[in-house]
Amino acid sequence: MKFIKYILFVLMPVALHAQTVHVDEDRIVYKNKKTVIQADKHELFERAQIAMERIKWNKQRIVVENRDEGLITARGTMKLATPYHTIRTVEYLFELKVEDGEYKYRIDSVYMEEKERGGKTMRLSSEKLLKAVEETGKVSKDAEKVLNEIDMNFQKLLALIQADMKESVSTEVTSK
């Protein structure tokens, strides 16, 4: 019985407030490598172009598209939910590289811009957002809420890409 109380009162709050955002060297970075059975580089590049076209909700703008290298790089922005007096926009760089039978993605260079209507504008790097979680009180709670929303939006973006690329679930390797 004592063990059950320990789990409920000590470990549950820790598990519920655990951060799911992907971190690499103290910044937000999502990267992975996926295998697609029986698909060559050119077919995967076509799929990647279609996938990037379909993602309109977060205003991606392609900055590099190189068919020979199998590389598409886009600068993206997405709005976060906020009270009326505040506008939060997340900016990021999304890279999709295809090869025969696989593709790699990377989301990096994540920044958040926060504007007060009729007031000042702050630009926060992902490093500063992650450090805010280490603070105490309201600052930590607000930062965690923002990071969870960012993670949810990136997971949605990646799910849409994966559906269009139709990767096989048999092999999934996290790239380093």
Q: What is the pLDDT along the chain (176 residues), one digit of tens a residue?
A: 554 444 434 443 333 344 467 777 778 999 999 998 888 999 999 999 888 887 765 677 888 999 999 999 999 999 998 888 889 999 999 999 999 999 999 999 999 999 988 889 999 998 998 898 888 888 889 889 999 999 999 999 999 999 988 854 334 444 44
* Interior/surface letters 47-79, b for 16+ CB within 10 angstroms, e for the rest: bbbebbeebeebebeeeeeeeeebbbbbebebe
* pTM metric for this prediction: 0.77
CATH code for residues 21-167: 3.30.530.80
